[in-house]
Structure 1
Amino acid sequence: MSNAQAAALPVVRVLPMLGPAHLDRPFDYLVTEADSEAAQPGVRVRVRFAGRLVDAIVLERVSESAHGGKLRYIERVISPEVVAPEQLRLLVDALAQRYAGSRPDLYKAAIPARHAKAEESDTTTAWPELGEVAEPDLSAWSAYQHGESFVDAVLAGKLARAAWQVAPGDDWAAALAALAVKVALGGSSALIVVPDQRDVDRMEAALREHVAAKQVVTLTASQGPQARYSRYLSVLHGQARIVVGTRSAAFAPLRDLRLVVVMHDGDDSLVDPRAPYFHAREVCTTRSAIEHASLIIGGHARTAETQLLVESGWMHSLTAPREALRARAPHIHAAGDSDFELERDPRARQARIPSAAFAAATRALEAGSPVLFQVPRTGYVQALACGNCRAPARCRWCNGPLGLPAGGDAAAPTCRWCGRMDPKHVCPVCGSHRIRAVVLGTERTAEELGRAFPKHRVVTSWGERVRDTVPAAPAIVVATPGAEPAVHGGAYGAAVLLDTWALLQRPDLRAVEDTFAAWLAAATLVAPMSAGGDVVVVADPAIPAVQHLIRWDVPGFAALELEQRRDAHFPPAVHLALVDAPRAALDDFFAHTDLPEHAELLGPVDLPPGAALPGEWDRARFGPAQRMLVRSPLAGRSQLGAALRAGLVRRGARKQELPLRVQVNPVDVG
């Protein structure tokens, strides 16, 4: 084998798969003539870097290097597979800027680990040769305003983006399956990203109504290394035209991508728990812009981020007419929402399970249907709230959540964001000076209901004991948000939403938005009002979220939530970054970081309960882990992330080794 330098474009510019931010840049190597054909942009190679062998991705081939010293040869080409095609490289570059992230970290999330045996299988067979495909029925989209014109635009290859509000009772998986198959029949590709395995299974089952199993590629974290890499290659080679998967499937390198779908974008499962903490929604919106692919962000609820895209004109709203929503939705009402009901049950607004809830459950059970009781997630988080009306206690300066620092060092409530003490807090809702500690958790609701309804079976679904379905027979089903089982071949006769205050008053930016989404997810499993479906919300009927639920006004709630975020200067109305590190490292980092104009620093404060900074350091010398918040206006999409990323590069070049974590526009602000 010849070791001669390649005759054409002998210099390969590679990105080593290393962690430090200051090493996230191209390095030049030489390639031999023997490796020249295989060493193309996007392939994985091995190079010697600082005395050790590391993996790298080829970014480009050039004729000469700007490096003045002697260049090394790459050690070898790991595989001739172009695992990082051009559109993926552009996507990773854009996301690294947005999230102040490392490109190697993003490549590791996007590209499965190599498995040599997977490369031996045939992943190049053309999609149409895999079986007959029935013509899909797209009539479900006609039930939505502008639905037909949206579908026509997608199939014609035009750029169309929609925030899709799934009407109650509609099978969102069946509607998406028909559209995805129609796109594939036209020779293009469709990508559908969902939060969890249950949704993947539901989507795959809907697609199999139209096509054979081999014509649908699923990408999930539960697959083994060989299966995942083999499926990635089938996508890469153009064999797969319909891909369904969880978070990391958003990077799937489909050819001629025409349609991208993200379902239930408010689910935190779509956020990668590792740096740079990307959100699948942001990956897909970036892909839509780069690859000019149509985009659907769908679900029963709508996040403030999606509403911002709608109000900016970047995408439009796809909703069912008001009359259709009323016909499909169950009867929704709050406990104690009328003088008559309060007269019958004076404690309807204070009782955990008021008589209205028992009456609704009894009617449904007698009619032969199961009843759903939704309870908050288990756990323990302490926050402060008004002692009179239970409104969350917020800082009067930055609107952050008030709490009591660990150890009782403060004699007054202290903001978890800016660190200011507020010894004379006044509730902005009722004017009370009283403050109470709120413990978020859930009691043994199943035991209570078992005693209340001794003749009926009690089924639970939460944590690791999640049920997919329950029979269409009388039963009490107790489930946490997101774990509600569907009724096989039917619907719930009633649903009762319990302990709503515990969800609404969580010390979190998205508490109300998440609660509203959880309510909608439960209510959509209930039979329509014409069939006796009943939903009881055990909450104050004056709460705006309750009123929007009763009217099934999803866009209206999203608009209200976004407006409140604007007033309080919260994301997505602003860009927000969290920087966690020992106090000495925080001071050093911000002293060498050029933040965007008008950026505002809040803190430092202690990390929220349950949050921890990984790594070891001398706490006596460098201080405990603390948090700084950086808030900046919505200027450039990636301006804040780019500034923080540059600061991380400078920090790495100075060989600062104290742990430091950066999260840009995180879902959980605290």
Structure 2
Amino acid sequence: MWELPQPKPGKGKRAAASRKGRREPAETAPVARVIVDVPLAHLDRTFDYHVPKELDEAAVPGCRVRVRFAGQLVDGFLLERGDTTEHQGRLAFLERVTSSERVLPPELAALCRTVAERYGGTLIDVLRLALPPRHAKAEAEPPREPAPAPEPPDVAGWGRYPWGPGFTDALSAGRAAHAVWQALPGEDWPARLAELAATVAARGRGAVLVVPDHRDVARLRAACAALAGEDAVVALSADLGPAERYRRWLAVLRGAVRIVVGTRAAMFAPVADPGLFVVWDDGDDLHADPHMPYPQVRDVLILRAHASRASFLAAGYARTAEAQLLLESGWAHPIVAAREELRACAPRVTPTGEDFDVARDEAARAARLPAVAFEAARAGLAAGAPVLVQVPRRGYVPGLACGHCRSPARCRRCAGPLMLPGGGEAGVPRCRWCGVADASFRCAACGSGRLRAVVVGAKRTAEELGRAFPGVPVRTSGAGEVLAEVPGAPALVVATPGAEPVAEGGYGAALLLDGWALLGRQDLRAAEETLRRWMTAAALVRPAKEGGRVVVGADAGIAPVQALVRWDPGWHAELELAERKELGFPPAVRMASFEGTPEAVAALLDEISLPEQAEVLGPVPVGEVDEDGRAERERALVRVPRAQGRALAAAAHAVNALRNARKETDPVRIQLDPLTLI
């Protein structure tokens, strides 16, 4: 808990009085309204200070300042200046202006306040996400010359989609348009998005394009630079150093650059006169910020598009239930290709079920592949193309179970899950929690000493494929090393979901293994997330007319597999949203999660003023429970109709402020629409 230090009696007051005696307020607009950088919900408001005469010119609205708050110097942002104050006592003076750069223009301040209100957070928490740390040397450099407006690009590529030309026409005319784009398999999506950004920039307006990771940033930035010029676009991502990141951010703030490409931090990029906001693959977990108040890129860009009357596009190969809700509400329109165009681009998809029939082929048995998958891989390699193998888990054998009764294999020391780490110790299971080896495992349920793999990791899969396809290079792409692209030569590329590299000319085949490991997760979004990962990988494969094959290891009768076979994510999104409405889960409703100790959660639920139609679910234990069914932490869910979402966020903020004011030492984590539950 962050506590405010109290000044010592007498000495602090005399020093403050001495300083005030030497300083006089500015003659015009002497009152500065400052948001202080103090992470306490009950202090989420502006505080009034006098602007001294010597800082009159430097203290401009939107600049960084230093003020004395509760006896200590803290950072803050000057939001505005005025002539009057509602404070009854004497006002303290600004201590100094850290920088006269207007880093917080009114539009950005209003956006951050709106985001804080939507997620029940504080303004300063959002400002920490929106504004990069100051770098004095970069700020002192000469301003970057504004890039000239590019020529309007050729947007013929959007003609493959019936509603595509209408969207590009609206951008060219400066009209606001909202759409959900379902990209065709094999589509050069960076080029299509770059065409939209260049169209907006040609009119002198700004564009913000947000993608999940740095590989997507590199591809999209290169496409935008090819159309609009190198000086017309900047890339903002977390891997930049503090100086370069601040330098590029200042170029956007000062209006020198109108096209911004980046990861989730770029959703707050202060482009001048924004005309287009784009989020690619909005269902990716990387679009949800893990810091308070946990905003999601798609929702923030929707708020920006609404406030600035700009265009918005949610794009991807798959479609989320949230994007489907935008379509069903009428706020957005679909951009989808005709079925004839889709059939010409899509690969052939073959489901194999979960039980592989490998008895007919010894090599297939060694590679843990069904016969149809082995044949697809062999055909793809024979055609001179690489073959993609998607494995749900990294590592060697990340999960083990008893070979007799199938009970999870647990460590005898700490009850953690056992795994095979691979390498030279592949035969000795180790605990994933404490790291202790267990060479003499015995099942606690049946006493058997045999082990079996629950799921096989990427490293073990690469070993098996190397033995099954001798002489063929095997490359891996995962957490340790993520490949951006691979040459169009015969090779086996084993990748975890989200780490699939782009192949020159496309893959000859894709093998999507262990589908049950993705579909069987205890997550409401499991089916939607599985289909998104499958389609992202399958979209990298050549069309069926060129021999492209996709083999998925899952039952053909389940909805995600049917959606993949027909390449119809819109149909699956409709099913998902209908089920969410029936069950009462987001995005059909707004939901808040309160997690903490049982005592803290119970106290919070007693104090919070919930909307009339609020429904409380739980509390339920989180994590391990003892013999009496009690746990160290509990979680309660509160859901309301979407119309009362803002009231729920306000109630969450108010009860958090009340607990902060009482200096409660038992914190409760508050999240609106938490990703782990939706």
What range is the shorter-chain TM-score in?
Answer: 0.7 to 0.9
1:117 aligns with 2:117: no
Aligned pairs for 1:82-231 within 5 A: 82-128=102-148, 133=150, 135-231=152-248
Pairwise CA distance, 1:657: 2.0
Bigger Rg, structure 1 or 2: 2
* 1:378 aligned to which of 394, 398, 401: 394
Percent of aligned positions that are identical: 48
Report SS of the residue matched to 2:557: coil
1:642 aligns with 2:658: no
Query: Could you report, residue by residue, the CA deviation over 1:171-223 in whole angstroms, capped at 9, with x for unpaired residues?
Result: 01001112211211211111111111000000111122123322211111111
Change beyond 3 A, Cα 1:343–1:544? farther
For the pair 1:590 / 2:605, whether they are aligned, the reply is: yes
Question: 2 CA distance for matches of 1:600 and 1:64?
Answer: 44
Alpha-carbon distance between aligned partners in 2 of 1:164 and 1:608, rounded to the nearest angstrom: 39
Q: Of 363, 368, 377, which residue of structure 2 is paired with 1:361?
A: 377
Change (3 A) 1:541 1:61: same
Amino acid aligned to 1:67: H
Q: CA deviation at 1:480?
A: 0.8
1:224 and 1:97 map into 2 onto residues whose CA distance is: 31
Distance 1:66 1:32 in 2: 19
Q: Residue 665 and residue 438 in structure 1: after superposition, are their counterparts in 2 closer, same or farther (change >3 A)?
A: farther
CA distance in 1 between counterparts of 2:118 and 2:256 reads 31
Residue-by-residue CA offset, 1:54-104 (whole Å, 9 max, x unaligned): 111112222111111111011111111111111111111111111111211
Distance 1:607 1:123 in 2: 52
Q: TM-score, normalised by structure 1?
A: 0.85
Between 651-660 and 10-19, report the one with greater CA deviation.
651-660
**What secondary structure sits across from 1:208 in the alignment?**
helix
Does residue 508 of the first structure (1) align with residue 516 of the second (2)?
Answer: no
Q: For the structure 1 residues 544 and 58, does the alpha-carbon distance in structure 2 shift closer, same or farther, using more than 3 Å as the test?
A: same
Of 23, 31, 36, the residue aligned with 1:11 is: 31
Post-superposition CA distance 1:423-470 (Å, at most 9, x none):
xxxxxxxxxxxxxx9956636111111111113111111112111111
Q: Tell me if structure 2 keeps the 8 A contact 1:336–1:342.
A: no
The equivalent residue for 1:477 is 493
Name whichever of 13-22 and 587-596 sits farther off: 587-596
**Matching of residues 332-411 of structure 1 within 5 Å:** 332-335=349-352, 353-378=369-394
Amino acid of the structure 1 residue aligned with 2:603: D
Match of 2:618 in 1: 603
Cross-structure match for 1:467: 483
Separation in structure 2 between the aligned mates of residue 321 and residue 252 of structure 1, nearest angstrom: 35
Residues 168 and 6 of structure 1: is their aligned pair in 2 closer, same or farther, counting only changes over 3 Å?
same
> Partner residue of 1:632?
640
1:529 matches 2:544:
yes
Shift of 1:149: 0.9
Secondary structure of the 2:35 match is: strand
> C-alpha separation between the residues in 2 aligned to 1:571 and 1:440?
30
- Per mean C-alpha deviation after superposition, the further-off stretch among 287-296 and 570-579 is 570-579
Q: Measure, in 1, the Cα distance between the counterparts of 2:185 and 2:146.
A: 38
CA distance in 2, matches of 1:446, 1:594: 55
Q: What does 1:58-97 align with in structure 2 at a 5 Å threshold?
A: 58-97=78-117
**Pair 1:263 & 2:280 matched:** yes
Pairwise mapping of residues 481-560 of structure 1 onto structure 2 (< 5 A)?
Answer: 481-488=497-504, 490-560=505-575
Q: CA deviation at 1:342?
A: 12
SS in structure 2 at match of 1:530: helix
Question: One-letter code of the match for 1:68?
Answer: Q
Taking the aligned partners of 1:372 and 1:33, their CA distance within structure 2 comes to 67
Q: List aligned pairs for 1:26-37, cutoff 5 A.
A: 26-37=46-57
Question: TM-score, normalised on structure 2?
Answer: 0.84
2:272 aligned counterpart, secondary structure: coil
Distance 2:453 2:81 in 1: 60
- Once the two structures are TM-superposed, the CA of residue 475 in structure 1 deviates from its matched residue by 1.2
User: What is the rounded CA distance, in whole Å, between the counterparts of 1:383 and 1:654 in structure 2?
Assistant: 48
Which secondary structure does the structure 2 equivalent of 1:545 belong to? helix
1:663 matched residue in structure 2:
671
Q: Find the aligned partners of 1:201 and 1:588 in 2 and give their Cα distance.
A: 48
Aligned equivalent of 1:401: none
Alpha-carbon spacing, 1:439–1:658, altered in 2? closer, same or farther (3 Å): farther
Output the amino acid matched with 2:68: R
Question: CA distance change for structure 1 residues 217 and 661 in 2, over 3 Å: closer, same or farther?
Answer: same
Q: 1:343 to 1:319 in 2, by over 3 A?
A: farther
Could you say which residue in structure 2 is the equivalent of 1:423?
Answer: none
Kept in 2: contact 1:124–1:238 (CA 8 A) = no
Q: State the partner residue of 2:433.
A: none
- Structure 1 unmatched runs, 5+: 389-405, 409-436, 612-621
Shift of 1:125: 2.0
- 2:338 is the alignment partner of 1:321: yes
Aligned mates of 1:589, 1:140 — CA distance in 2: 54
Correspondence for 1:57 among 58, 74, 77: 77
Q: Which segment drifts farther, 548-557 or 599-608?
A: 599-608
What's the counterpart of residue 24 of structure 1? 44
Deviations 1:289-337 (A, max 9, x none): 1111100110111111111111111111111111101110001121269
1:268-294 residue CA offsets vs partner (Å, 9 max, x unmatched):
111111111111111111101111110
**CA shift for structure 1 position 638:** 2.2
Give the 3 Å change call, closer, same or farther, for CA 76–343 of structure 1 in structure 2. closer
Instruction: Give the Cα separation in 2 of the matches to 1:188 and 1:312.
Output: 28
Quickly say closer, same or farther: Cα 1:360–1:382, change in 2 above 3 A: closer
| Kept after mapping to 1: 8 A contact 2:182/2:316 | yes
RMSD across aligned positions (CA) = 2.8
Does the 8 Å contact 2:455/2:514 carry over to 1?
no
1:441–1:502 CA contact under 8 A, matched in 2: no
Amino acid in structure 2 at the alignment position of 1:164: W
Which letter maps to 2:251? S
Q: Is the CA contact 2:611–2:644 (under 8 Å) kept in the aligned structure 1?
A: no
Q: 2:667 & 2:118 partners in 1: Cα distance?
A: 21
The SS at the match of 1:295 is strand
Q: Report whether the alignment pairs 1:442 with 2:457.
A: yes
Match of 2:265 in 1: 248
What displacement does 1:608 show? Answer: 4.5
Q: Deviations over 1:146-186 (max 9, x none)?
A: 11111111221111011011111110100111221121121
Deviation at 1:583, TM superposition (A): 1.5
**Alpha-carbon distance between aligned partners in 2 of 1:216 and 1:56, rounded to the nearest angstrom:** 30
Supply the AA of the counterpart residue of 1:107. L
- 2:461 and 2:639 map into 1 onto residues whose CA distance is 41
8 Å contact from structure 2 (residues 358, 370) kept in 1: no
Deviation larger for 193-202 or 635-644: 635-644
Equivalent-residue separation in structure 1 for 2:610 and 2:304 (angstroms): 27
Task: Out of 159-168 and 622-631, give the one that drifted further.
Answer: 622-631
CA distance in 1, matches of 2:645, 2:597: 29
Instruction: Go from structure 1 to structure 2 and tell me whether the alpha carbon gap of 1:145 and 1:209 turns closer, same or farther (over 3 Å shift).
Output: same
CA contact (8 A) 2:151 2:202 kept: no
Cα deviation per residue 1:599-640 (whole Å; 9 max; x = unaligned)? 12222222248x9xxxxxxxxxx9822211122222234222
